[in-house]
Structures are given as structure tokens and as C-alpha cells.
Amino acid sequence: MKKIAIIGAGTMGNGIAHTFAQSGFQVQLIDISQASLTRGVATITKNLDRLIAKEKISEADKSQTLNNITTYTSIDEGVNDVELVVEAATENIDLKLNIFKQLDEACQENTILATNTSSISITQIAAVTSRPDKVIGMHFMNPVPIMKLVEIIRGYNTSDDVTNTIMELSKTLGKIPVEVNDYPGFVANRILMPMLNESIETLYNGVAGVEEIDTVMKLGMAHPMGPLQLADFIGLDVCLSILNVMYDGFKNPKYAPCPLLVNMVRAGKLGVKSGEGFYDYSESRKAEKVSKQFS
């Protein structure tokens, strides 16, 4: 397997493209927006420059990685000769089902179709294709080039051959694949999201403030990042979407999103991506921090 297509040039998509391209794969990066493709390739370039600065790769490695990436704005053109497609579009079930219908029609008969979804049913996605045995989940962690884990999620009909192929492929990327079965949230988010939600509930109930909650978890539980800061990093809208998927899937109130989370998303306070969530990431706040350093 040498030719891979990635659907979506956002944070996850460009990270997955970077990882495959740096590992020697020919990557066809697809997005309906040329601007998104341009930003995605710029992000990959910036991240490669950081690796050069750390003396982890050479200029030649950077050039080869970028040469391994070709961009497309059409799914039909971008996937017609690939052996694997990894879909990394927005976490929206209707969007993903529509993409997989297109992929099923445009791809060769033996092409494996993977999704980077962090919570949506692989079985449900596979059901809209004529190849449910060749549909699988590849849930990469963010930032993709750095994080080692890949959750490999088997749908109800995913074949052993496809599962084994994707497990071995993940290892060639320098990742550690973990096979899990298809239930809402899989393993990572089934455990992580209730913890983040409970942290938000703790804030909502006035038990402690944002920095106090994060400090307790960092110093007391050895977490590298506090849960509220992590929620900001993931995106509060993404957290809400995943919790809703799990609540709908299990009908268990323990997965019901905290009202504070719902209201923050309604207000557009989405975390790092919007400049404000539980913390302030605005330019004025950054300037304030810089001025304090030199005062």
C-alpha cells in the first residue's frame, strides 16, 4: 500500500497527511476548499520546519515529505487510484454518510475506506456502502505527527483481513494501534469525555474555579494538561458533539452534557479555535502576558 487519500485538510486531516507523507506514502489530500488545502499544506510545512529546528529531520526530508503530497478539490479525481482513503471531515454524521456514499462509487472495488471519527458508529457509516467489510475506523490522536496511539475500530462487518492490514499499516507510521469494537465513543472518548464533562459540572456547581480544577488534576493526578484546558484544546463544540453521540447511543444520563457546556457552545465560546473558552486565547491576552514578562 503506497497511495493514500485523505479527506479534509483541517487539523486532523493535515496531521494525518503529514504523517503518511513523512513515512514515504504518496498522499492525495482532498478538500472542497482550496483555501483549506493551502492552509493545510502551510501547517504541514510549518511543522516540518519545527522538526528541522530540533534537528529531527533534514531539509531533504522536508522536501521529500512535501513532494509526497498532492492536493485536490474533487473527491472523484483524488480517490480513483488509491488503496486506502482516510476520511477526516467534520464530526457530523450526515456529512460523513454523504462522503462515504461518494467514496463507495468513486473508489476501486478493493479500496479500504477508513474514518477518523472519534465517536460515530463505524457500522452505521459502513451501511451506506456496498463494501461494509472494507470500512474501518482509524481514530488518530491530536497532534497526529506526535501522538502514538491510533484506535482501530472494527464495524460489525469489518473483515479480519482489513483489520490486520490497517493494524500493520499503523505500525509502519510509527504508531501503536489498539483494536476496539464499535460502541459509542469507542474507548478513548468513552472514558475521556465523561471526565471532561464532570470537570465542567464541577465548575458549574461552584466547587472550584477553572485554574483550581485544572491544577488539582495536573498536580494530583499527573495529567499533563488540566481537563478544562484540554476541552478548550479539543474544541467545546467537538466535546458537545461527542457527548451527544454517546448520550443518544447509550440513553444513559451520565453522558448528558453539562448545561454550561451547552451554553458556551451556543455563545460561540469554543476554546482555542474561537479565541475564548474556559481560558482567554485572544491576541490582547497574549500581548498582556508578554508585557508582564518584561515589566
Which listed residue (14, 47, 116, 118) is catalytic?
118
Which listed residue (151, 170, 199, 241) is catalytic?
151
Residues of the chain with pLDDT > 90, as a percent, come to 93
pLDDT at 284: 59
42-100: per-residue pLDDT in tens? 999 999 999 999 999 999 999 999 999 999 999 999 998 999 999 999 889 999 999 99
pLDDT at 290: 41
Residue 89 neighbours by CB under 8 Å, 6+ apart: 7, 8, 13, 95, 96, 99
Catalytic residue status for 189? yes
Domains of the chain: 3-181 (3.40.50.720), 189-274 (1.10.1040.10)
Distance CA 199, CA 277 (A): 14
Which listed residue (14, 47, 189, 241) is catalytic?
189
Catalytic residue status for 80? no
State yes or no: pLDDT of 292 exceeds 60.
no
242-291: per-residue pLDDT in tens? 999 999 999 999 999 999 999 999 999 999 999 999 999 987 565 455 44
Which residues are documented as binding site for NAD(+)? 8-13, 31, 91, 96, 118, 142, 273
pLDDT at 291: 44
Residue 132 neighbours by CB under 8 Å, 6+ apart: 123, 126, 155, 156, 157, 158
pLDDT at 285: 65
Query: Nearest to residue 230, comparing CAs of 214, 242, 245, 215?
Result: 214
DSSP tag of 217: I
- Bridge partner residues of 28 (DSSP): 5, 70
Which listed residue (116, 119, 121, 139) is catalytic?
139
Q: Which phi and psi (to 5°) does residue 177 adopt?
A: -85, 145
pLDDT at 116: 97
Question: Quick one: pLDDT band at residue 294, thresholds 50, 70, 90?
Answer: very low
* Angle of CA points 226, 228, 233, to nearest 5°: 90
pLDDT at 293: 43
pLDDT at 295: 43
pLDDT at 289: 55
Catalytic residue status for 118? yes
Residue 88 neighbours by CB under 8 Å, 6+ apart: 6, 7, 8, 10, 12, 13, 16, 115, 116
Tell me the average pLDDT across 212-239: 97
Q: Which three cell numbers stand for residue 166?
A: 490497517
25-48: per-residue pLDDT in tens? 999 999 999 999 999 999 999 999
195-221: per-residue pLDDT in tens? 999 999 999 999 999 999 999 999 999
pLDDT at 1: 84
Which residues are documented as binding site? 8-13, 31, 91, 96, 118, 142, 273
Question: Quick one: pLDDT band at residue 121, thresholds 50, 70, 90?
Answer: very high
133-166: per-residue pLDDT in tens? 999 999 999 999 999 999 999 999 999 999 999 9
